[in-house]
Chains A and B, each alone.
Chain A
Amino acid sequence: MKRVALLLVSLSLAACGGTAQTRRTFPVVVSTVPGPLVTDSGWAVTLSSAQLSLASVRFFSGEALVRRGPLPWRFDPLGWLVPSAWAHPGHYVPGAAMGELLQPLTVDLLAAETPWGTADGVTGTYGSLQLSLGAEGLRLKGTATKGADSVVFDTGSFAPPAAIEGVPFSHVMDTSAGRVRVAVDLAAILSRVDFALVGSGADPLDPASPAFNGFARGVEDSSVYHATWEAAE
C-alpha cells in the first residue's frame, strides 16, 4: 500500500507540471552519537550492552515540530510543491510519503555502525521521518556511578506503543549517491534517568520507578534520533 502511495505521489507531482520526481533507492545505516554518557542528575554511565530492535523507517515531506534547517522557501524554489507541517500540539502532519525501509533489524549500538538496508524512495524535499521500533525496543545494561555510589542496571526492553514520529530530516533528495545515517543519542535517552530513583531495584529496573519513566521518555523523544544525509565521496 505504501509503495502505491509513493508511486501516486510521484505521478501526481509530475502531472502538475512541476519537477518530475524520480524513484530511487538509498542505503540507511544506524550508529550512535559519540560522547560521554552523563545524566542530568550527574550519573556517569558505562554501557555493557545496548540492543535496539528496529521495525521500519518511513520518510515524509512534512517538517518536524522543531526544525533544524532553514525555511523551505528560502532554499528550495520548488518547496511549494509539497505540503508542510505546522508547530502545533497534536498537529504534526507527516505530509507526503517519500520513502521507506521495512526491514526489521536488531542493532548492537556499541558497534561503530550497522547497515540497516536499502530504502525505496522518490526525489524531492524530505522533512521528517517516522521510526518504528520492534517489539524488543531498546534495552540498555551497564553501570551508573555518582561519587561513591555505583548502580548496576538493566533497563529491560521498552518499545513505545506507537511509532516515533517527527524525527527531523531536512534534505532535498536528488539522484546523487549517498546514504541516510540514523544516529541514536544514548546520552539524551539516559539524560532524564536518576539512578537514585530506581524503586524496587535497578537490575532489572523497576518499571514503576521514576528512573524507568525517564528511560522510557528518552526512547520516545524523537529529538534523540539524528537523521542526516551523507553524500558519497
Chain B
Amino acid sequence: MKTMMMGLCAVVLASGCGGAGSVQFTTWGEAYIEDKIPVDSMETTGFVDGWELKYARFVVVLSEVTLAKKTGEAGPKQTEAKVVDLVKKGPTDLLSFADVPSGKWDLLSYAILPATSTAASAGAIDAADVERMRTGGLSMFVEGSATKGATTKHFAWPLALNTEYQECTNDDFGEGVTVPNGAQEVVQLTIHGDHFWYDDLQSPDAKLRFDAIASADANGDGEVTLDELAAVQLTALPLGQYGTGSAANVKTLKDFVFSLSRTVGHYRGEGHCHSHAR
C-alpha cells in the first residue's frame, strides 16, 4: 500500500497536476531604455547612421496579464493596470498571482493599453507622469533626445494604442510559464526600447536609424512632433529603408513609428509574443 501511495505521489508530482505555486511578474526596459542606445558603426547593436539616443521617459501601461491553457482552461488575469516608467532602474515588480495550480500554463498574454483613472503606479515613477497617462488615456509616453555631432533632436510622443501580446514564448523557457509546486516563478515582461527606431517592419536586415526622424523636424525647432512625422510620406525616403512588409496602409513616418510601437513587448528577455492590435 505504502509503495502504491509513493508511486501515485511520484506520478502526480511528475505530471505537475498537484499543488499550487505563485508567479511574480516584473518588467524591465534593459540598458537601451535605462541608459542609452549608442552609435554603432558595426551595425549590430545601435544606430547605424551616427545617432545616439537617450530616453528621459519611457512610460507604459501594462495590464491584462493572463494565464490560460490551450486546452481551454482559464487561469488568473490581472485586473488593475500598472503604470511604469522604464527609465527608472529596474526590474520593477508588477503583480503576483498566488495559489495558481502548478504545471504548465502554455498561453501567457499581456497588454499595453490606454490608462483609465484607476491605473496604479508601479515602481519609482513621478506622480505627474502617472496622472498624464490617466487623464490622457495614454498607453505609452516616450520622451528623449538624440544627438549626432552638434545636432540634438528632442521628442515627446503620447500614444494611445491598444496592443495585446499573445502566446508569449521564450527559447529557454518554452511557451507560457510552468508554475512550480509550492514555490514562486519570476517572469519578466521585457520591453525593447530600440524597436521604435528600426527601418523595416519585417526585413531580417532591419537597422536602427534616426536620420529620417530627425529630418522630419520641418520647422527646425529641434522638437520632432507626431504631426511632423505624419507629414513625411515614406515615398520621400530612400528605397531600401522603411519597408513595410505585410503591414498594409503604413504610408507615413507616423504610421511607421506607431506600427513599431506595437512591437516593443517581449517575454523574458529575447522571447517573443504575437502582437495584436485592438
Contacts and interface: CB of A to CB of B under 8 A. Distances in A.
A221 B255 CA distance: 15
B202 A217 contact: no
Interface string B192-218: 000100101111111000000000000
Contact of B263 (A71, A87, A194, A217): A87
Given A89-B195, A89-B202, A90-B205, A73 B70 contact: yes
B106 to A, nearest CB: 9
B149 interface: no
Contacts of B272: 86-88, 91
B235 A214 contact: yes
Contact of A166 (B107, B167, B202, B251): B202
A43 B205 CA distance: 34
A90 B200 contact: yes
A192 B233 CA distance: 9
Nearest to A158: B239
B248 interface: yes
Contact of A65 (B239, B240, B245): B245
Nearest to B272: A86
A222 B246 contact: yes
B121 to A, nearest CB: 29
Contacts of B200: 89-90
A92 B236 contact: no
A140 B244 CA distance: 22
A165 interface: yes
Contacts of B234: 192, 217
Interface residues of A, number: 38
A64 B182 CA distance: 40
A65 B201 contact: yes
Given A210-B233, A216-B239, A90 B204 contact: yes
Contacts of A214: 233, 235
B273 interface: yes
B275 interface: yes
B248 A223 contact: yes
B233 A90 contact: no
Interface string A186-220: 00100110100100000000000011011011001
A91 B204 contact: yes
Contacts of B274: 67, 71, 86-87
Contact of A89 (B198, B233, B235): B198
Interface in A43-95: 64-67, 71, 73, 80, 84, 86-92
A217 B239 contact: yes
A87 B207 CA distance: 16
Interface in B256-276: 260, 262-263, 272-275
Nearest to A87: B275
B267 to A, nearest CB: 10
A177 to B, nearest CB: 28
29 contacts: A65-B247, A71-B166, A71-B274, A86-B273, A87-B272, A87-B274, A87-B275, A88-B272, A88-B275, A89-B201, A89-B202, A89-B203, A89-B263, A91-B272, A92-B202, A92-B203, A161-B240, A165-B202, A166-B245, A166-B246, A191-B251, A210-B235, A210-B236, A213-B239, A217-B234, A220-B243, A221-B246, A222-B245, A223-B248
Interface of A: 40, 64-67, 71, 73, 80, 84, 86-92, 161-162, 165-168, 188, 191-192, 194, 197, 210-211, 213-214, 216-217, 220-224
Interface of B: 70, 107, 166-167, 195, 198, 200-206, 233-237, 239-240, 243-248, 251, 260, 262-263, 272-275
